[in-house]
C-alpha cells in the first residue's frame, strides 16, 4: 500500500516533465486518440505509452480502449485532486510565526 507521500509524488511526477506538459496541453481540447498524440508529439508509440502510464497513474488523465487504440482525456476529478493537493502541501499555518525551532 502506497504512503500518502508516494501518492503525492505520482501527481508531481506526472507534472514535472516537459513532454507530459505538452501532452496535457494537447488534451485541453478534449479526448484524443493515442495515434493522434503520437503524430502531434512526434514520438514513438513506446515513448508515448510510458508518458501516458505516468499521467494515468497520477489520476490526472484517463484512458479508454477502442479497438487497438486508447483514447485519452484529462480527468476533471484528477485535475481537482491535483489542485487541492498543491494547495494542501503549500498552505501556511496561520499560527506559524515563521520562527524556526532549530
pLDDT in tens, 7-39: 899 999 999 999 999 999 999 999 999 999 999
Report H helices in the chain: 4-15, 18-27, 34-41, 45-58, 76-90
Count of C-beta atoms within a 10 Å radius of residue 14:
24
Q: What are phi and psi of 59, to 5 degrees?
A: 90, -5
pLDDT digits (tens, 9 = 90+) for 51-85: 999 999 999 999 999 999 999 999 999 999 999 99
Fold exhibited by the domain 4-88:
Arc Repressor Mutant, subunit A (1.10.10)
What ranges do the domains of the chain cover?
Answer: 4-88
Q: Which residue has the cell 501516458?
A: 52
Nearest CA among 85, 33, 88 for reference residue 58: 85
* Entry field: residues in the chain: 102
Strand partners, 43: none
Amino acid at each position: 500500500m502506497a504512503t500518502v507521500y508516494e501518492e503525492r509524488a505520482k501527481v508531481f511526477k506526472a507534472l514535472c516533465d516537459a513532454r507530459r506538459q505538452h501532452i496535457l496541453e494537447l488534451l485541453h481540447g478534449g479526448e484524443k486518440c493515442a495515434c493522434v498524440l503520437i503524430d502531434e508529439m512526434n514520438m514513438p508509440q513506446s515513448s508515448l505509452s510510458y508518458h501516458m502510464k505516468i499521467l494515468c497513474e497520477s489520476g490526472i488523465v484517463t484512458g479508454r480502449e477502442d479497438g487497438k487504440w486508447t483514447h485519452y482525456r484529462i480527468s476533471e476529478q484528477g485535475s481537482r485532486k491535483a489542485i487541492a493537493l498543491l494547495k494542501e502541501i503549500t498552505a501556511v499555518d496561520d499560527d506559524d510565526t515563521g520562527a524556526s525551532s532549530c
